[in-house]
Amino acid sequence: MTATSPAAPFSGPSSAASLADIVAPYPAVARIAEAVLKAWPAHEKYMARSLAGRGAAALETTALLADAAVILAGDRLDEIARHYRWTCDRLREEEIHFHRTGGYRLSTFAEADAEVYSNADYMAKYVDGLLFSQVLWSNHARSCDFYFRETPRHLRAGGRLLEVGPGHGLMLYLALRDFGLTQATAWDLSAVSIDQTRHALSLLGVRDATLGVRDILEIEPGHETYDLVVLSEILEHLEDPKAALRAVRGLVAADGLVFVNVPINSPSPDHLYLMESLDDARALLRDTGFEIVAEDAFATQNHPLDRALRNRISVSVCMLGRPAGR
């Protein structure tokens, strides 16, 4: 399922290759894998399968993400590995509920705020765990690879970027590294989160991004527009993601792009909006004034897409859209 040019033939390591063999060419990936093995020896098979199924190009992007993650981890590599295991345990609890009931456990922001966002200890572990997930989970790394390789094909040189909810700053880092941007801006609802992003970007050597506390639902008409607006793993945390995308449409230049990465059938402690099919994900853009110009989908653990959809296994859906009718 893709509206992009055909993928290059698979040329990554064999699925039978050992974890040590797979990570050997990528020192930062190897350091993260080693730290996780110390905290969670039984995770070796998972990591080997995840990394072996990516192909050479996605492994190169994985290495970029790992380089950045190791810098952000600093001397906390082992602690973050323990928090990664803790995060996976929390996700497994949510998966059990999802497959038992058919729905996500939480449905309102107030619930997520009470259980997750307002719990400082929980958030510290959760955010740490998600950092390593960008490297170790195939759907996360391959989504970053799609963004990294596909977006420049549609983005005009010298464009202006806005990212909503930048998190660890890895997407901003990749864009500023290779997209030829003239300006990069990031917004978040949380002052604490935006300060964490600012610190992370500073560690990565990025100092030419403008960060601020803004709510996209409160942006007045006539606000300046951007050539690329990024919402990566944001919309599933909202009660009404289409309202957010309608607001975003006014921020995208007439010939600009929006990049959306959303998971379907993906229970997590703070996921509120359930999408169950590829068409559910596509409708987010098509129902809010965008036409999709490129898309792809990546199942967790490199499962075949049709099998993942049939069994309600988590799938990350990446889409690039343009404003329709402009």
What global pTM score does this model have? 0.93
Q: pLDDT of 42-101, one tens digit each?
A: 999 999 999 999 999 999 999 999 999 999 999 999 999 999 999 999 999 999 999 999
d(CA 161, CA 62): 22
- CA dist 168 and 254 (Å) reads 29
Q: Which residues of 30-45 are buried (b: 16+ CB within 10 A; e: fewer)?
A: bbbbebbbebbeebee
CA torsion angle 270 273 275 276 (round to 10): 80
Q: What pLDDT band is residue 15 in, cutting at 50, 70 and 90?
A: low
Lowest mean pLDDT among 2-6, 27-31, 143-147: 2-6
Q: Percent of the chain, pLDDT > 90?
A: 89
- What's the mean pLDDT when you consider all of the chain? 93
Check whether 36 has a pLDDT greater than 60: yes
Instruction: Give the domain ranges of the chain.
Output: 139-323
- Give the largest Cα separation in the chain, rounded: 55
In CATH terms, 139-323 corresponds, of 1.10.287.3510, 3.40.50.880, 3.40.50.10860, 3.40.50.150, to 3.40.50.150
Judge whether residue 146 has pLDDT over 70: yes
Q: Count of CB atoms within 10 A of residue 271's CB?
A: 22
For the cut 70, the answer to whether the pLDDT of residue 7 exceeds it is no
Model confidence over 201-239: pLDDT tens digits? 999 999 889 999 999 888 877 778 999 999 999 999 999
